Structure 1
Amino acid sequence: MTPPTRRAVMGGMIVLYTLALARIALAQAPLTPLSGPITPDAFLDLSRRLTGHDDLSPVLGARILGVLTETGQAQPLRDLYLAVSEGGAMPPMEDADILHQILHGWYLGRITVGDRTHLTGFEETLMGRVTADILPLRSYCGGAMGFWAAPPATGPLPLREEGQ
């Protein structure tokens, strides 16, 4: 038996996180009703509900929404929005693909539709928030050529006091 890949573990964690948010969704105010196609603000409201993060990047949200609408996912996205706005704690299972695409866009910075992967971002994705206090995501070179050969500077790590 082969061990699970990192992507499979991350995908499973995203699904479990979404299931945990189902209980929180019941206590939240309803989403604004749609009168046409989903707007960037409505998409951010939906994304806040699905991820549990209030401080999402509007730029990354616009990129994710753009990829979803350009690849023909506008109707499933609208259906998911309506399902969540009607007070359902969890979207119906037929909306699972669009749900995964949204969460992959926010957490991993890429969305796979069919056999094509669309990159939406890197620095502002949610996967970097887990280690942001110690290890920031690098999206550019950290020094002159060969800087990685020198051992890193070490020092005392800021440890949390008990009870914090």
Structure 2
Amino acid sequence: MKKDNHLLPNDLTQTGVSRRRFFGQSGSVVATFALGSLNTTTAVAAQPAPTDATTLNQFLKLSRFLTGHQNLDTTLGERLWTAFTQQSAGFSSQMDVLQNLIGQHKLPDVEALDTLIKGQPLHDVMMAVIRGWYLGVTDDSHHARVYAYQNALMYQVPRDGMVIPTYAHNGPDYWTSEPPPVDRLLTF
């Protein structure tokens, strides 16, 4: 029996098999080179260094003063601190200057600090920290990274009377809670 030269849907020619084998092997070689060329020191250096407890406590203390809220989420604070220090190398020193101004002038609240530094570059730093806690983002760009949504301070004040806006009908993270029990089965 003579075999046709054209391919049937379930039939492979020897050329087709070798071509597939070639592409499969070349794909493996490319993946090996791509993974092997990654420099592990670069990958480690790209990750932010962990924040020490003293620095984080200073940032949280300043944040409590600036926001007027005493119960701030420590994990969110660490994320915001990391984001601010990645965006600006001088953020740590600017935070220290703000804390020194508060201490030197014995300022009672953020409004007094606002009056003192209005029109200065430190005012922008102060507003960035407040914005970070209230909005959950650290910049105003179109591709801003969100660090807090459900725990953003803008939703904490009216939480007893306002539902956090979401497309998830049962609220953010609704899938983590147990579903309501089935009282009765649906009838069709």
- Decide: shared fold, TM above 0.5: yes
Higher helix share: 2
TM bucket normalised to smaller: 0.5 to 0.7
CA distance in 2, matches of 1:140, 1:115: 20
Within-5 A mapping of 1:15-30: none
Higher strand share: 1
Q: How much does 1:139 deviate?
A: 5.8
Q: 2:160 aligned with 1:125, yes or no?
A: no
8 Å CA contact 1:111–1:118 kept in 2: the answer is: yes
**Alignment correspondent of 2:66:** 50
8 Å CA contact 1:123–1:138 kept in 2: the answer is: no
4+ aligned runs moved over 4 Å, structure 1: 113-116
**Could you tell me which amino acid in structure 2 is paired with residue 45 of structure 1?**
K
RMSD, aligned α-carbons: 2.8
Match of 1:104 among 131, 136, 142: 131
Q: How much does 1:71 deviate?
A: 1.4
8 Å CA contact 1:108–1:125 kept in 2: the answer is: yes
Change (3 A) 1:121 1:88: same
**Could you tell me which amino acid in structure 2 is paired with residue 74 of structure 1?**
S
Question: Unpaired segments of 5 or more residues in structure 2?
Answer: 1-51, 108-112, 171-188
Q: How much does 1:102 deviate?
A: 0.2
Within-5 A mapping of 1:20-99: 39-72=55-88, 73-89=91-107, 90=113, 92=117, 93-99=120-126
Identity %: 25
Compute the TM-score of the two structures, normalised by the length of structure 1.
Answer: 0.56
Larger radius of gyration: 2
Q: How much does 1:114 deviate?
A: 7.9
Q: What are the Cα deviations for residues 15-63 of structure 1, in whole angstroms up to 9, with x where unaligned?
A: xxxxxxxxxxxxxxxxxxxxx9971111111111111111111111111
CA distance in 1, matches of 2:101, 2:145: 26
Q: How much does 1:140 deviate?
A: 7.0
**Alignment correspondent of 1:137:** 164
